[in-house]
Every structure is written in C-alpha cells, then in structure tokens.
Chains A and B, each alone.
Chain A
Amino acid sequence: MRLVLLIGLLATALSACSSDTTQSGSGKRLFGKSELAAVSPRTAALVQQGAPAYVAVLEAREGAQTVFLRQTVNAKAEETWISNEELSLGMKRGMVLATRGFGGDVLAIDASQTAAALRAGRLSNVNRFMTFLDGDSQARTLAFKCQIERGETYPIDFGTFKIQTVYFSEACRNADMSFINKYWVDVKDRRIIESSQWMGNTIGALGLRIIPR
C-alpha cells in the first residue's frame, strides 16, 4: 500500500506529455553546472560583437562559475549583463545594481555613495540600500551603514599583462546582519577590475572579474 502511494506521488510529480510547449522556459539554469551547456544564439552574438565580459563566481557554492556579457546600456548608464544560463545582472560602473534569476534576487541596489568613494579613493562612511524580493513576493528595502577602507596595491595577473589595482573593503552592517564587500580598482582609470559583492543571504557573495579585451 505504501508502495502504491509513493509510486503515485512520484509518477504524478513527473511531467506529463502534452501539446503545451510554452512551459519550457525553465529547468537548465543552474549556476555553474558541471557539464557544458549549448551556447545560446544570444550569447554567441554578443561574443561576436566583442561585448565586455565578466567571469563570475558564487563564492558560497563550490564550482559555481559563469560568464556574463554586457547586453545593453541605458540612458542612465545602467547596464544589463546576461549569462548563457539565462541569468542577468544590472551593473553600473562595476557595481552590481540587481540580480535576476539567481533565486533570492536583489531587485535593486543603491550603492552610489560607495561608487563615489571608490572613485575618489578615500576612506569614508557611506549608506548602502538594497531592495530584495522576499519569499512572500514583497519588495523589501534594507539600509546598511558601511565603512570603506583602502588597502594595499595589488597586481592582477591576466597572463600576458598585469593590471595594477588598489584594494578597498566596504564593511557594512545593520541591526540584523553584516557583510564585507571587496573591490580591486585600477590605479590608472579607477575602473573596478575585480570585486566581491554581497547579494543577500540566499545568493551570498558574488565574485566578478572583468575580462579585458
């Protein structure tokens, strides 16, 4: 009897055959799946156009690695970067603005004060705001107090050349949580070359390194 129940539950949980082909938009998108996925035409087109790219890792999940390509930039200089796994990132000058499709997504981030401090290259106390989509489908904005500190200079090795960077840490906290973001900023043009930015409890820290072209 128990067997019938289990078979019943399992079998009915399996997907059925049907004429409906519109439900396909899901299933393959696991960040850093071990086997190689087919390259989507969209990804291929961006590569051919020479779109800027990031190598991205989810630091909390071993082997979770992918590449994001810049798809578009709007009038406010907000960029959308997409991955072959149908994930996307909102970015602005190397700072993450939003995540989409990761699970536990950040709908929007206002880290404009941090970005200004990094450009100016000085120690400062800033405010950071992050709006999450919570489990009950509500947008919730959290505010953090952050302290930015400057560290050593550090060369990032790209094989055929190196970029000299200066390290900044951004230690943020509010009443309930704390995290530290890290930035390696090009000493020459103040571009963020590499970073580790916290995207909430579900995603954790997102590591990004630009692929120079």
Chain B
Amino acid sequence: MSSHLPQVLLIGSMLAATCAEAAELRFPVSTYGTPGLVDMPSGEVFPDGQLNIATSFNAKTQKYNLAFQISPKLYGGFRYSVLDNLDGPGQNRYDRSFDLAYMLLAETAIRPSVVVGLRDFGGTGLFGSEYVAATKHLLDDSLALTAGIGWGRFGSHGGFENPLSVFGDAFKTRGAGPVSIEEVGRLETDQWFRGDAALFGGLAYQINDRIQIRAEYSSDAYAREIAHMGFEYKSPVNVALTYGFKSGTDVSAYVLHGSKFGVMANFVLSPENPKVPGGVGEAPPALMSRQSAAALSWDAGSVAQKDSPLALALAEQGLILDGVSTTNDSATVRLINTRFDAQAQAIGRAARVMANTLPSNISTFKIESTAKGMTTSRTTLHRNDLEALEYDLDGSRASFARADIADAARSEAATLQGAYPNYSWVIQPYFEPSLFDPDNPIRANFGLQVGAAVEAARGLVFSGLVRQPLLGNLDESTRESNSILPHVRTDSATYAKRSGVQIKSLMVEKFFRPGTNLYARGTVGYLETMYGGASGELLWRPVSSPLALGLELNYAVKRDFDQLFGFQDYDIVTGHASGYYDFGNGYLGQLDVGRYLAGDYGVTVSFDREFNNGIRVGAYFTLTDVPFTDFGEGSFDKGIRFSIPVSWISGMPNQNDYGLAISPVTRDGGARLYVPNRLFELTRDSQTNELEDQWGRFWR
C-alpha cells in the first residue's frame, strides 16, 4: 500500500468516528465502493442520502471510492484508482472514474430489487462496464442472493452474444473507447450495453450482527491485469469476509480469483444522523415575565446604544445589534448573526432576548437578517405567540405559521451609534492540498495566513489576505501546461510553487439592495490567486420564491506568478447570466450561461442535494465552444463537491463548513473567475424556505 493516502480517506475516517448507531444489517459494499458483493455489483441501492467512503487495497491496486445516494433510486460514485505497472514497467495508472446506477424495481415479498448501472462511463474506460443486477433477501434478510448480466468488463468472462442484439446488430460490437488521453472524459455511448454479455451472481450471508461472508461468480476476466500486472487468474470465484463495527464502519478481507488477497474498509455517513441531533450548544434564554418600562429602567433613547441591555444580551447569543428602532408597540432590530449556522435559531434567540429586555407595551418584534450589510428578510413575531408556544408540543410548526417573513429591501432600523467603522482581523494556519497530479496524486502546502477587514460603512468592506507557505511539496510539481488555449487555469502549479509571501486577495466590496427583491455587489481589486480586476453582480430573488436570476460581469487581468501587485498581459471580459431553482426536498439546480476566462462561450449545469442540516453533495459540468480535442484531458470541465457543516461534526453552533470539491482535471476551457461573496450563496440562509427547513431550531 502506498503511503499517499488521499485526503478523501482521511476525512472519511474522521467522520466515521462520529457516526452514531449502527444498522443491525450490514450493507454489502464491493471493492468499487458501490452496493455489491466482492467485485460484482448487486441489485441494491444505498439508503437515501447515504454517503459512502470505501477503500480497497491489494498488492498492486488501490481504490478510493466515494458514493452518494442522490435520490431514493439513483446513486452516483467517484473513484480514484492506482494500478501498479498497468501502463508498462514502473508506469502506474492513476485513474478516475464515475459510476451511476438506478433502481428499476424495489424489492417486495416476492420480487427482487433490480438495478441498472453504468461503471466508469466517462473516464478512461479502464473499468468500463454496464450491468443489470437483481437481489432478493431471504431468511429474515440475513441472506441476499444476487444474479446479473454484465457488458464490457463484466462481459469478459463466459461471454455470449449480446441478447440486446435482437434490437439491432449495433449491439453486437462494442465501441473502441478513448484512443488517447485527450479523448478521455466523453460519454462513450457507442460502448454502453454493447458487445458480448455474461452472467454473474453470488450471495451475501450475515452470520451475526458483526460478521458477514460473501461469495460470487465473477464475469470479469481481469484481462488487462493478467497482461500487464502479472495477475494470476485461477478461478472465477471471489470471496470476502466482513467484520462490522458498531459505528457502521466495516472492514473486509477478500480473495480475488483464487490468487489475490486484499483488504477493504467502508465508512458510512448518514447526513440525517449527526453525532448529536440538535447540538449541545448552550440553552437559549428563557422567556421571562413581562415587565414595564419603569421596571426595566428602559427608555427609547438609549436602546440604540452599543451597551444597551438589548445589545449586550444579543451579544451573549453571538448576535451583533447593528440597528434598532422602536415605536410604542413594536421594535425592529437589524442583526448580524456570527454564531448559528441555522438562521432560524438566531431569530428564535433574538426574539426571546427582545421579549426579556423590551418593555411589555412592545408586543411586535421585527427581526431583520443581514448578509454583508444588506438586509435580506424581515421576520415579524408577536410576544403573545412566543409566550404561548415556548413549551408547546406543536410549537415549532405553530410559531412558523404565525411568523411573517418578508423581503427587507430597506432596513427599518436606525443604525446603532458607533457601529461603523468596524475592524476585524485573523491569523490562522492554512492547508492547501492539490490532488490527482499523476506524478504525486497528493500534494499540499501548509502555512500561515493573516487577514484583515474594515467595514467602513454598512455593506462597504475593505479586506486583504496574505499567505506565507511554511512547508509542503506543491513546489515539487514539474508539470508544465500543455494547453493550446490561453493558460487561464493550467498555470496553477506555477502559482502554487511560489514560496514567498503572497497576496491572496486585496479588495474593496460594496453590497447593497437596489430595490425590492434585488441585491447588488461590486468588487474591485486582487480577487483571487490568479486574477485581479473588477466584478459586478445583480441578483433578483424574491424572499419566498424557488427561482432566482442573476447577472454577473467581470473584467479580469491575470496576475503575476509571485502573487504580489503585478499583472501579466492577459485580460478578458467574462460574465454569466444565471438561473437558480430550488426543486424542493433539498434538490437545487443552477444554470450559468456566458463567457468564460479563456474567451470561450458556454454553459455550466450544477445540481446539488442539500440536507436541512446543511450537508451538501453536488456535481457540475461545463460545456463551451472549445472543441473536446482542444480542451485536452477530460474533454470538458466537470466535478463533484461536498460540504459538511462543522456543527454537524462538533455539535456546537458554528457557521463554517468542511468542503471538498473534486475536479478530476482542471483545464483552461470552461474556467470561471473565483469571485468571493457571490450573492446567491450569500443571501441564502435567511430566505423563507431555508428558514422553514431549519425552523425546528427556532426553540432550540
């Protein structure tokens, strides 16, 4: 086993330790990290929403697998594999592959579940195969029987003429697949379900809560491994023995084709089961009995002071009072939430603080949520409802129903005296990994960064971030860009090599609300590692609408490799029109149409699934007018991404996420400018549907 463990694996093992109760039944996962036996897939899918991180090792092969149950019937997988000497002596193959599988039929008392799947459908085709598999559970579900038919690799042992050829002779022969690295990454539809087919099957038997055995008849002939890697094929039978831990993690030993011994481990992450449901952060303030202005020694004049009881009590909850106005019977506060990832929780606490610190005649509380100085939404609550519902069995639903959430294009709260300018700074270590360089699949730098920001007025921010790398091996990269397009991204290694002080960003940003449902941003300065320039954005987003539309226009100039003040002589006007749609149940889609950094025109399609607690998994691809052959390896830009809230892991309120985006290859086509604080994400937390999704935390 190589010592170069991808970051994916490390994160996986961290998370596995936090996963709670185990399922009684072990879910068999193959060496490919998808539902299956040993190498062969089964006719099952994961439980909905499950994220599965699996590794498999034998003497000459490493596989790192990530799979996600996208919807109850559809799952996707990403795999990074290292096959020693596959491309000749001393030439290891570093392979990335994607899988997709769909459950055609769910299991019933008499019928098996049936899954149709594509393996490695857009990579080098090393594992390229398609299958239809059926699985039926017997003996109180302890025995799972699987039978299937496979094509491609899965049709390579015991193959026979494709039964699908009744639909046409085209099914009799399988397409050639990519002939060079430049062709990799396209959908090889002329291969799918074509050529010889073969049958496979097997069983998984759970002996007790901990131990499971699996055996299969494999239809994979391992032809390339035999030819190039000295693989010994003695038998079509593979077997595995699995031990499952209480955490849901399991480890297996397996024997492939009577000759190759290996081990695998499987970590399960269920987004709906954080370590501590609802978190362990401090209890909210209790609602106290109503008090008159006199009893509170309250006066309308001094409530707008930075040290008013209202401001201090809000600060105790991590909420900065930015503005406040009161009338005889209502009060409006404008809040900056610095603690809670669920804005509903911040609003719930602010409401109780208002009830406790404002006199009893004030019975209506208006809470304005903000993002970078912009007011986003205004939530109106009533003292009577708070008092009635604090310990009500149905308090969560009822309090949401009685709350009014509206757009807040204009703030109704007067800015607190002395709120601006507002200074902040941070000194922290940073970690910058670079994955998938074939010379060394994992490189990273580690260093120290210093950031500072001044919010001169509401929504006007001057900020900068400076880095000093301390140790790491990003500078060892010897890859030179071979791109025939303008080198808008492929010089990234040249930037990363620099060991001196680097200005990561230095800019001024202005955020404001031009009108109802409208948000605007202007940014000028050194925007990111590789580009400086100017960026403007306008977003139309009604507070309760699933649809949002945006426009962005940028002028970008490529920065010097030393990442100080200089520029190179490449500049470009880029920009996109964007549509965002919330399909409900956590499914989010985004479409960006426009001009990319290399001057290419095209479209980016993104799709994410977000759980109410903030865990998010998504995928995207970009197609532009750059021909696949000019793009280079990968043919077009694509990737997967996931992020996990720190609060999900720690149980403590926290607004940060652990995020990872895996883009197999970053080239120059379909590349976008990285502008910080794009408006859609910035304004998301306080929209009606986000508040509703997390309203369970209102009373937490």
Contacts and interface: CB of A to CB of B under 8 A. Distances in A.
Given A4-B473, A101-B282, A19 B276 contact: no
A19 to B, nearest CB: 5
Given A4-B472, A72-B288, A100-B283, A22 B696 contact: no
Given A26-B653, A131-B396, A16 B339 contact: no
Given A17-B426, A78-B391, A139 B282 contact: no
Contact of A135 (B284, B395, B613): B613
Nearest to B342: A137
A5 B277 contact: no
A50 B145 CA distance: 68
Given A1-B3, A74-B287, A108-B392, A133 B278 contact: yes
Nearest to A6: B10
Given A27-B652, A72-B288, A103-B278, A7 B391 contact: no
Contact of B394 (A72, A131, A132, A202): A131
B282 A138 contact: no
Interface in B284-332: 284, 286-289, 315-320
A16 B429 contact: yes
Chain A interface: which size bin? 35 or more
Interface string A17-60: 11110110111010000000000000000000000000000000
B277 A22 contact: no
A4 B471 contact: yes
Interface string B257-293: 0000000000000011110111111111011110000
B696 A107 contact: yes
Contacts of A86: 282-283
A212 interface: no
Contact of B286 (A17, A80, A107, A109): A80
Contacts of B272: 134-136
A202 B277 CA distance: 8
Looking at chain B's contact residues, is the secondary structure mostly helix, strand, loop, or mixed? Answer: loop
B4 interface: yes
B7 interface: yes
A154 interface: no
Interface string A73-113: 11100101010001110101000011011111101111000
A90 B391 CA distance: 7
A87 B271 CA distance: 26
Contacts of B317: 25
Contacts of B390: 74, 78, 90
B426 A16 contact: yes
A78 B388 CA distance: 10
A177 interface: no
A147 interface: no
A102 to B, nearest CB: 7
A9 B446 CA distance: 9
Contacts of B278: 103-105, 133-135, 137
A141 interface: yes
A138 B280 CA distance: 16
Interface string B628-672: 000000000000000000000001111000000000000000000
Interface in B381-397: 387, 390-397
A122 to B, nearest CB: 24
Contacts of A78: 390-391
B431 to A, nearest CB: 4
Nearest to A133: B278
Contact of A18 (B4, B276, B391, B428): B428
A4 B446 CA distance: 8
A142 to B, nearest CB: 10
B338 A23 contact: yes
Nearest to B614: A137
B424 A136 contact: no
Nearest to A78: B391
Interface in B444-492: 444, 446, 471-473
B697 A137 contact: yes
A8 interface: yes
Most chain B beta-carbon contacts within 10 A, residue among A16, A27, A129: A16
B425 interface: yes
Given A26-B652, A138-B612, A110 B393 contact: yes
A107 B700 contact: yes
B694 interface: yes
19 contacts: A5-B10, A8-B472, A9-B10, A14-B429, A26-B282, A27-B652, A72-B286, A78-B390, A100-B283, A100-B284, A105-B700, A133-B277, A133-B697, A134-B278, A137-B278, A137-B613, A138-B612, A139-B395, A202-B277
Given A12-B430, A22-B319, A107-B395, 8 more contacts: A12-B429, A25-B281, A80-B287, A101-B283, A108-B391, A108-B394, A131-B396, A137-B342
Interface of B: 3-5, 7, 10, 14, 21, 271-274, 276-284, 286-289, 315-320, 338-339, 342, 387, 390-397, 423-431, 433, 440, 442, 444, 446, 471-473, 611-613, 651-654, 693-697, 699-700
The list of the 3 closest CB pairs from A to B, nearest first, reads: A16-B428, A80-B286, A86-B282
